[in-house]
Structure 1
Amino acid sequence: MKAMVCERFGGTETLALRDVPDPSPPGADEIQVRLGARGVQYVDVLMLAGKYQFRPEPPFIPGNEAAGHVVALGADVTGFAVGDAVMVRLTLGACAELANAKAALCDRVPSTLSLAQAGVFRGAYATAYHALLQRGRLAAGETVLVHGAAGGIGIAAIQVAKTFGATVIATAGSAEKRAACLEEGADHAIDYRAGFTDQVKALTGGRGVDIVYDPIGDKVAEESLRCLAWGGRLLILGFLGGGPTNIRSNYLLIKGIDAVGVRIGGLNEANPALAIANTKALLALAEQGKLRPRISHTFRLDQAAEALQAVIDRTVIGKAVLVG
């Protein structure tokens, strides 16, 4: 089979299309899937660089979410049949033509999603759902400030927050991205680059927001503390802005703020049953038409390097997908 292989740690130049052996027949609890769509994530960029918490040694095939069609079943697998369209969660190996996946981590593609949308669904929506509902304790009627709102986990956060009755203020750095946030359901979309505290306070009548959803970090996280209302929650999802912030504990004390870390990989490892239940709930919402990924860029499998560069350059709105 063909696969994109990371041959050494570094940037996107480390990826090469190679002929590699097909996977072995699926194990007793596995299914084998011919992959047709794969999600592209910033996690993949970090893995190529050897800077992610999980650090596979090269050579390896990157990618951890995909969708395709079942071609073989393990001896103990029930509930799937050859030919079924499924979405899969992998540790590695999505940037290939075939993959074996644990049946427990696979789901049928909802009728409302294309194969491409199914291939980019799991990671972003699982992150947003776990962050907002479980770590952030979101309640209907609350207000959420979503940073990086035009990205994959940002669009997912807008949709999840609106589904559960929140008011959403989205931040994004261009008019095109802010328009996309409004199209996806955000109540307000603001430019954060020259500061956003005054804008947030004006939109909330001076009260501030209940939750900040922050994959940016650095100075954005620091300013976000000033936007939170009493008892607010700062959800820390990553550091796309260049690194973590030094959180001033006096803000936490005076305003009763919770600073909460969110890592979906950690949930998958520590509480796999909850992670699986979350995915089932999200797929039910997708089946109802309430959740739908936005894909701005589509690439072939052999264009994985270009796809990851688009993620790095922040030209992607929503998600990028590798097809074929």
Structure 2
Amino acid sequence: MTDDTSQSGIGVSRRRFISAAGGAGAVALAGCTEEETGDGDGSGAETDTGSNGGGSGLSGEINIAGSSTVFPLMSAVAEEFEREHDDVSIDISSTGSGGGFENHFCPGNTDFNNASRPIKPEEEDHCAENGVEYIELVAATDALTVVINNDNDFATEMTVEELAQIWEADAAETWNDVRDEWPDEPIDRYGADETSGTYDYFVENVQGEDRGHTDDYQATEQDNTIVQGVQGNEYAIGYFGFAYYYQNPDTVTAVAIDNGNGPVEPNLETAASGEYSPLSRQIYTYPSISSLAEEHIAEFARYFVDQTDNEQLVAEEVGYVPATQDVKQEQEDKLEDAISQAQ
């Protein structure tokens, strides 16, 4: 999001974070599971924190920017880590994947960048120019979700081509431009800002780079703003990461997407299986290798990767598909190699 202060600062309770992230009356990620994941109940959220357990003496600051899609997962993990390590302060800003790389991470001002798509070649070059080395870690799998107003009973299922007609540069102006039987009403669009990895992913996998993305929409890095906009107009449409829909499924209606094999609803099962195509995707975090030289940052990175297969936290609380054991092991090996290089 363009306002870095609106979703930052994790030294608050999980429920207070959720309320703040959603804003007044918005799709606050309210309604997480009633159980906290950090009570040592075998959920996996507070175990195997690395070589330093709670009260280990770790201290210092960790600065994270980037994707609004990864934000709720990173925030949930950060709070659990801070619960164990009182002297570690973690600040997370939701700036969009591209905004995080361009303005924060590649200039060397943050320790991690969250991203809802892989780093781009121009971002790699920017980081290299500033001597910023990094590794890519898979955080989870997301089901990028298209939503409509709850009173919209005609567009609950769409083909990928129909989505492309709505969002391409030369976009349809009214709903019946897309399908003859749909109303002759203007399409009111809300979506990710061009600094967002979600924007990039949508362009690449729905309409294609050659068809571009319409400028006739409300662009934002605040997913709650998208929900508010869609809530407020029967003929509105928007898109964002699945976690924001998962937490409040009654606020807006998710569209089932037909990629040639019939309409498929976004959920954890269809994202995990790949059936929800082409909008299921991996999401990432990128730690700076130089930052991993600091023990508290290395331990947080280990803790984050350790939680990626935690079904209660990743799936039940946040709303993403956890990593498989094989993927988690690959990320652990990659991280340990980077920590060895840094230290």
Q: Same fold (TM over 0.5)?
A: no
- TM-score normalized with structure 2 length: 0.29
- TM-score normalized with structure 1 length: 0.30
* Larger strand fraction of residues: 1
